[in-house]
Amino acid sequence: MYLGQLADIAGKDESEFTSSSGEIDWPDLVELLRNHVNPEISAAVDDARTLVAVNGKVLSDKTHLDARDGDEVALLPPVSGG
Amino acid sequence: MKWRCCHLSAAVDPAMHRDIRLLTQPFIPGALIGPFTNTCEGLGGVCTFVGEVRGGGGVEKLELSHYEPLTMNGLQQLADAAADRFDLMGLLMVHRIGQMHPGEPIVCVSAAAAHRRDSIDAVDFCMDHLKSAAWFWKRELRDGVWHWIEPREADHADLLRWN
């Protein structure tokens, strides 16, 4: 799921990825985005201010991402507030 | 450990009436306040803040998007924090999502308490947290083009008032 301006950068609201191992870690995700979406979204999610949630829980360190088959990964740019 | 126990029980005060909503359609803040205060029997003061979509600057529309799995939990946690910090009888937090026009209400926060200071400060506290820490993303339509709104330093500075 691409939230906020990340959806504009990706050109869509969501993407679905499958991995032969059934797991996607942070370097895998950054590479998948670069190769299958575009380099701009890959760079934007790697920005320190972009947070990541898996199944509705925000990761304290996105580089520890360990997404499994069926997980929903949300890419969250800095919020602009209510 | 005993103190910690008391602290936790205050955080989930069952006596505090809470009404937390995300709305996709326009709302009339005044219509919410009467029913809300009626649930807080014996209150001494109620403070209400209404935020509206600012006009001017060529703004035609404002769009607020969110991420549902995080947004509602975040608002409930903010209500927990307000209940923990202030002596409240009731807290209402209503926030719009979707597209709005200038002049439309975007947020309404109302706090009822036995004494004015708790109600006024609770509303101020909730608004500062909503402005900088809630899971919302905003963009404005100006001259037919959408522009994302970046986080404001001033909003983050406002949060520090409560540390």
| φ/ψ of residue B45, rounded to 5 | -160, 150
Give the pLDDT score at B156: 78
Q: Which fold has domain A5-76?
A: Ubiquitin-like (UB roll) (3.10.20)
Is pLDDT larger for residue A62 or for residue B154? A62
A8-12, A59-63, B6-10: least confidently modelled range: B6-10
Q: Which two tokens stand for residue A49?
A: 């201010």
Amino acid in position A56: G
- Average pLDDT of the residues in A29-47: 96
Give the pLDDT score at B142: 94
Determine which of B135, B136, B147 to mutate to test the interface with A (most A C-beta atoms within 10 Å): B135
Residues in chain A closer than 8 A to B95 (CB atoms): 82
pTM above 0.80, yes or no: yes
Q: Going from the first residue of chain B to its last (163 residues), give the mean pLDDT of each consecutive group of 10, the final group possibly shorter.
A: 38 77 97 95 96 92 95 94 97 97 97 97 96 91 93 82 88
Strand bridging mode B17-23 / B45-52? unpaired
Give the pLDDT score at B12: 53
**Strand order through the sheet with B98-100:** B98-100, B59-66, B136-142, B145-148
Give the pLDDT score at A2: 97
Q: Domain residues for B73? A: 2-160
Instruction: Characterize B103-137 residue by residue with b for buried, 16 or more Cβ atoms within 10 angstroms of its Cβ, and e for exposed.
Output: eebbbbbbbbbeeeebbbbbbbbbbbbbbbbbbbb
Report the Cα B133 to chain-centroid distance in Å: 11
Interface of A with B (CB under 8 A): 1, 3-5, 8, 53, 55-56, 58, 72, 74, 76-82
**Residue A54 confidence (pLDDT) above 50:** yes
How many Å lie between the alpha carbon of A21 and the closest alpha carbon of chain B? 27
Residues listed for chain B:
163
B95–A74 C-beta distance less than 8 A: no
Q: Which of B67, B136, B148 sits opposite A81 (nearest CB)?
A: B136
Task: Compute the distance between CA of residue A75 and CA of residue A14 in angstroms, rounded to an integer.
Answer: 10
Residues in chain A closer than 8 A to B134 (CB atoms): 79, 81-82
Give the pLDDT score at A80: 84
Q: Which of B70, B106, B131 sits opposite A58 (nearest CB)?
A: B70
Q: How many separate domains does chain B show?
A: 1
Query: B150 at the A interface (CB within 8 A)?
Result: yes
ipTM: 0.89
Task: Compute the distance between CA of residue B60 and CA of residue B56 in angstroms, rounded to an integer.
Answer: 9
